[in-house]
Amino acid sequence: MKRRTFIQSTLAAGAATLVLPRFAFGATFNNETLRVAQIGTGRMGHGDMQASMTVGLRPKVNARVVAVCDVDSKRAEHAKGVAESFYKEQGESHVEVKVYEDFRDVLARDDIDAVNISTPEAWHALIGIAAANAGKHIYMQKPMTYSIGEGKALVKAVRANGVTLQVGTQQRSSVYFHQVCTIIRNNWLGKLKRIEVGVPQDKGEMFVSGTEQVPSNLNYDLWLGPREPVPYFEGGVHSQEKIMSRPGWLQREQYCLGMITGWGTHMYDIAQWAMGEDFDGGPVRYKAKGDFPDRGLFNVHVGYDGEAVYRNGVKMTSSAGSAGVKFITEDGWAYCNRGNMKCSNEELLRRRPKDSEVSLYKSKNHMEDFLTSARAGKDPICPVEVGHRSNTICVLHHASMKLKGKKIKWDVKRESIKGNKAAKAVIDVPMREPWTI
C-alpha cells in the first residue's frame, strides 16, 4: 500500500467508526516486550525517548525503543545513536534502532506497539489519528492538538480503535499537584470560589525573515505538512546544529499558538482535575487579551491575561507570570507549582482521603504510567478526553485574544461556540491537502 493511500484510509476509518465506551480497549501487543517508536527527535522528542528507554528497562514495564522518525535525517540519525549507545551501556547491544523519515512507514510496521509523538503540534492530530487507526498506543506531547476540531477527531479515533493515549501533561504525576487537587476535589477547604493561573510569558524575540536554502537532510515539504508552503528559514524551523535548543516554530502561529497552549495546557489541566471537569467539562464563558508586538516572522502572543467562568460560577483568571495554580475557597486557599505546594491549612498537605472521599488516580512517573496502562489495556492518568478538554480552554482563550478581548460563549456539551461567527472563523483552521481530517 502506498504511503498516501495508507494515511487516507486510516483517517477515513477514524471518521467512520463508532466511539467505544471508556476502558473498552481492544488493541493487543504482538510482543512480550513493548516495541516503541519515537516520532519527532528534537528537544522534546529526546526527552520522551529517554524517558521511554529508562523506565522501559524496569521489569514490569519491559519496553524498548526500536525506531526513530524525523523529517530531518540529521536529527533522526543522532537519536538512533543516542538510543543504541544507551542500550549498549545497559548490556543490550542487540537492540537495533531503525531510522525513518516518514511516520507512515513506522505505522505500517506490525511489530510496533506504541509511538511517542513529539512533533510540532500542527502534526499531532494527523499522526495521532493514523497511529490509532493502525492500532498503536500513543504518548502525545502537549498540547494534544492544534485546534479543537482536531482534538474531537483524535478522541473519536482513539476510542474507536481501543488504544491507550497519554497526554504529556506530566504535572499529574507530581505529588504537589496531586495533593492540592485532592484537597480541592474533596472540599477540605470549603467551596471553591476562584482559580488563579500563572502562564509563563514568551521572550518576544524579533526575527527578520529571509530566504535560505533548504538543507539536504530536511524534507521541508513534509515538515510543513498541513500548512501552506512558505520560504524556508532555519531560525523559523529548528536549529541544524543545536538539537536541544528551543525551535523557532514555537513562535510562529501557523505551527503553535504560543505559551497559552505550550504552558496553559499544563495549568488548565490541573484546574480541571481539581474541579472534576476534566473529562467532559470546562468554562462556558471566555474573555482574554494578548500582546502581539511586531516581531517579524515570530507572531505568537507575548503578554497575556484572561478570564473564564465555569457553569457553577467559579471564575478562573489567567495572567503571564510564574507557572502555578492557586485555588481560593470560602475557608482558605491552596497553591501548587512544579517545585512546591502550599495551603492556608498546612495539615491538609499531609491528609489522605477516607474511603468515603475522592481518591484521585495516582502516578509516580508519567511515562511509566503510559506504558503500563498500554500493556494493561486501560486509561492512563491523562487520557485523550482530558487532554482535549484542557487544550480547548487554551484555544478559546487564544481566539478571544485574536479578537482583541471579545467575549466567547462556549457550549460545553456540544463543544461549539454560541453565535460569534468571528470566533468560529478563528478556531476553524484550514489544512493543506492531502493532510486533512
Say whether pLDDT at 17 is over 50.
no
Q: What is the domain range of residue 102?
A: 3-170
Q: What is the pLDDT of residue 205?
A: 79
Percent of the residues in the chain that have a pLDDT greater than 90, as a whole number: 89
Give per-residue pLDDT as tens, 218-249: 999 999 999 999 999 999 999 999 999 999 99
Find the range with the poorest average confidence among 21-30, 141-150, 259-268, 392-401.
21-30
Give per-residue pLDDT as tens, 338-348: 999 999 999 99
Say whether pLDDT at 406 is over 70.
yes
Q: Is the dihedral of CA 268, 272, 277, 283 positive or negative?
A: negative
Cell of 423: 470566533
Cis before 293 (ω within 30): no
Give per-residue pLDDT as tens, 413-423: 999 999 999 99
Does residue 237 fall inside a structural domain? no
CA 254 to chain centre: 17
Does residue 225 fall inside a structural domain? no
Rounded to 5°, angle at Cα 137 from 24 and 223: 140
Say whether pLDDT at 7 is over 80.
no
Distance, CA of 311 to CA of 297 (rounded, Å): 39
Q: How many domains does the chain have?
A: 1
Among 57, 62, 58, 40, smallest CA distance to 49 is for: 40
Among 269, 17, 55, 259, smallest CA distance to 153 is for: 17
In terms of phi and psi (left: phi > 0; alpha: psi -120 to 50; beta: otherwise), the region of 436 is beta
pLDDT confidence band for 373 (50 / 70 / 90): very high
pTM score over 0.85: yes
Does residue 183 fall inside a structural domain? no
pLDDT confidence band for 25 (50 / 70 / 90): low
By CB atoms closer than 10 A (0-12, 13-18, 19+), residue 183 is buried
Q: What is the pLDDT of residue 211?
A: 85
Find the range with the poorest average confidence among 8-22, 285-299, 303-317.
8-22
Q: Between these two residues, 17 and 86, which has the higher pLDDT value? A: 86
Does residue 124 fall inside a structural domain? yes
Say whether pLDDT at 159 is over 50.
yes
Taking residues 37-62, what's their average pLDDT? Answer: 98
Residue 80: CATH number of its domain:
3.40.50.720
Q: What is the pLDDT of residue 31?
A: 57
3-class secondary structure per residue, the chain: CCHHHHHHHHHHHHHHCCCCCCCCCCCCCCCCCEEEEEECCCHHHHHHHHHHHHHHCCCCCCEEEEEEECCEHHHHHHHHHHHHHHHHHCCCCCCCCEEECCHHHHHCCCCCCEEEECCCHHHHHHHHHHHHHCCCEEEECCCCCCCHHHHHHHHHHHHHHCCCEEECCHHHHCHHHHHHHHHHHCCCCCCEEEEEEEECCCCCCCECCCCCCCCCCECHHHHHCCCCCCCCCHHHCCCCCCCCCCCHHHHCCCCCCCHHHHCHHHHHHHHHHHHCCCCCCCCCEEEEEECCCCEECECCCCCEEEEEECCCCCEEEEEECCCEEEEEECCEEEEEECCEEEECCHHHHCCCCCCCCCCCCCCCCHHHHHHHHHHHCCCCCCCHHHHHHHHHHHHHHHHHHHCCCCCEEEECCCCEECCCHHHHHHHCCCCCCCCCC
Tell me, what amino acid is at 106?
V
Tell me, what amino acid is at 375?
R
Distance, CA of 30 to CA of 38 (rounded, Å): 18
Number of alpha carbons in the 13 Å side-chain half-sphere of residue 312: 13
Does residue 222 fall inside a structural domain? no
Taking residues 31-55, what's their average pLDDT? Answer: 97
Cell of 134: 493502525
Does residue 146 fall inside a structural domain? yes
Does residue 197 fall inside a structural domain? no
Rounded to the nearest 10°, the torsion over CA 345, 346, 350, 353 is 10
Does residue 155 fall inside a structural domain? yes
Q: How far apart, in Å, are the Cα atoms of 127 and each of 13, 38, 102? A: 14, 12, 10
Say whether pLDDT at 207 is over 80.
no
